Chain A
Amino acid sequence: NAGVTQTPKFQVLKTGQSMTLQCAQDMNHEYMSWYRQDPGMGLRLIHYSVGAGITDQGEVPNGYNVSRSTTEDFPLRLLSAAPSQTSVYFCASRRFSGGNTIYFGEGSWLTVV
């Protein structure tokens, strides 16, 4: 199993541009989520999904869209990038039933100039 795969690893955007961070998992996990991590901070939940066709907002959803058309994929879209969205983004997945380990991707470093 490849686990959780995120692309791209690094990206520089200009203010106002849009882009999509890709996330895929091959563990047949129902639950997928996106977090952002700012310097010296913990992870803040952006959006999450408990299955194909179901998404919900986390703590900091503004400026981001998600969709879950398949179990495997959970892309994160930045609609109009702002410097405040400069961060490291982590995708994660786990089996839906509580108490299961969450598996993280290696992160996507995004800089908005």
Chain B
Amino acid sequence: SQQGEEDPQALSIQEGENATMNCSYKTSINNLQWYRQNSGRGLVHLILIRSNEREKHSGRLRVTLDTSKKSSSLLITASRAADTASYFCATDALGAQKLVFGQGTRLTINP
């Protein structure tokens, strides 16, 4: 089964609002990454947070990591129509040599 599970599966908000997506995982990790996929395209890396970090920022993105709950959240502030995409978390498990993705959150920003 997938290591990461995103929640919600789909999210629709108005432009300017904040969007929050969550990711839960099952095993201990080295790091957790978030990726974005525009329709019909490959995935693009957004941000990486290591297991010893609790929060990280990049522009309008804020990622938190709670290793005790095995969960992460991605917050996009002041959303724009161009943020419409699917967002995936991916975990780099301890002792593993592969990056495992969740099923993604489909985010729609309404103008």
Contacts and interface: CB of A to CB of B under 8 A. Distances in A.
Same complex origin of A and B: yes
A74 interface: no
B97 A56 contact: yes
Contact of B92 (A43, A48, A99): A99
Chain B interface, DSSP helix/strand/loop, else mixed:
strand
A90 B39 CA distance: 14
A45 B33 contact: no
B interface, size bucket: 20 to 34
B102 A42 contact: yes
Given A42-B102, A45-B101, A58-B98, 10 more contacts: A33-B98, A33-B99, A45-B98, A98-B92, A101-B33, A101-B45, A104-B43, A105-B42, A106-B41, A107-B42
25 contacts: A33-B99, A35-B101, A40-B103, A41-B103, A42-B88, A42-B102, A42-B103, A45-B98, A56-B98, A59-B100, A92-B99, A98-B30, A98-B92, A99-B30, A99-B48, A99-B50, A99-B92, A102-B33, A102-B45, A102-B90, A104-B42, A104-B44, A105-B42, A106-B42, A107-B41
